[in-house]
Amino acid sequence: MPWEAKYNCDDGYVELIYNGLISPKDLYDALIAATHLAEENHSILFLADCSNMVGGHSIVDLYGLISLYESVGLNLKMKEALLLPSMKSAMKDVEFYETSCWNKGFNVKVFTSRREALSWLTDK
């Protein structure tokens, strides 16, 4: 599977780890899995590690994914830190995702450092 979802009990966030090509279905499946983990653990914090993502979806797919957020139970109080991929084309998609989320009122921010991402996410 090109993605993994897990809950970090120590810091109280859901982590999504993406590897390689991520299809539109993978994005949707990861969203559902992350939402379930967040609900089970009463969390609104998310870390998406996109550092090994290489693509596989379009900006239209990303915009469609964001449009589903309210219907799957995510609200504007959620906070998501994103680790940028190293591939330039995939990096642009993640930056588009960040901007689109902000435009819809979601608190999402990209980072190049895991330490900085976790510091911002958990306010440490």
**Residue 20 domain-assigned?**
yes
**Residue 70 domain-assigned?**
yes
**Residue 104 domain-assigned?**
yes
What is the model's pTM? 0.93
**Residue 120 domain-assigned?**
no
Mean pLDDT within 90-98: 93
- Residue 124 has what pLDDT? 59
**Domain span at 36:** 3-111
* Counted domains in the chain: 1
Which class for 5: exposed (0-12), middle (13-18), buried (19 or more C-beta within 10 A)? Answer: buried
What CATH number is attached to the domain comprising 10? Answer: 3.30.750.24
| pLDDT of residue 72 exceeding 90 | no
**Residue 118 domain-assigned?**
no
| pLDDT of residue 27 exceeding 70 | yes
**Residue 54 domain-assigned?**
yes
**Residue 15 domain-assigned?**
yes
Q: Which residues pair with 31 in a beta bridge?
A: none
Mean pLDDT within 28-34: 96
Question: For 46-62, how does the pLDDT look when each residue is reduced to its tens digit (9 = 90+)?
Answer: 999 999 999 999 999 99
